Amino acid sequence: MRALVQRVQSARVDVAGEAIGACGDGLLILVCAMQGDDTETAQALAQKIYKLRIFRDTAGKMNLALKNTGGAALVVSQFTLAADTRSGNRPGFSSAAPPAEGERLYLHFAQALRDLGVTVETGQFGAEMAVHLVNDGPVTIWLDTASG
């Protein structure tokens, strides 16, 4: 799975002009299931993000993780993270998991974070969404379970 994790002061996702998910201090997580991913992959990614030390401690250093801060997460499906731009100018997305599998793993990932005690809201799989955020830092981290 691939994820783009952004530390945020706030984030919101709208569908058809209506807010369907939001969070305050915490993380906006754009996530994409890739071909070959499974529930164990989703679980491992959730654990990694939960323990990722990207929040400031009292000295201003990035030493705290979501598990330490009590922050929330807004999880949004983002199949374009599978973009292959090696050839030509139009990205290919054939390495993304098929839609039904992608949705299943996206929902499993969100639930895995909830099971860790994180307050999680989500976007709507496959919908045209408007994502609003106030990036904190800015801190943006790229994670790919295939590369460790």
A 10 A CB-CB count for 148 gives 5
Nearest-angstrom CA–CA distance, 123 and 78: 10
Q: For residue 138, say if its preceding peptide bond is cis, omega within 30 degrees of 0.
A: yes
Residue 84 has what DSSP assignment?
Answer: B
Residue of 6, 41, 78, 122 marked active site: 78
Total Cβ atoms within 10 A of residue 46? 27
Among the listed residues 6, 41, 55, 79, the single catalytic one is 79
| Residue 80 a catalytic site member | yes
Does residue 39 have an active-site annotation? no
User: Is 78 an annotated catalytic residue?
Assistant: yes
* DSSP-assigned letters across all residues of 108-127: HHHHHHHHTT--EEE--TTS
Q: Which residues contact 15 (CB under 8 A, 6 or more apart)?
A: 123, 124, 127, 128, 129, 130
Q: Which residues are catalytic?
A: 78-80
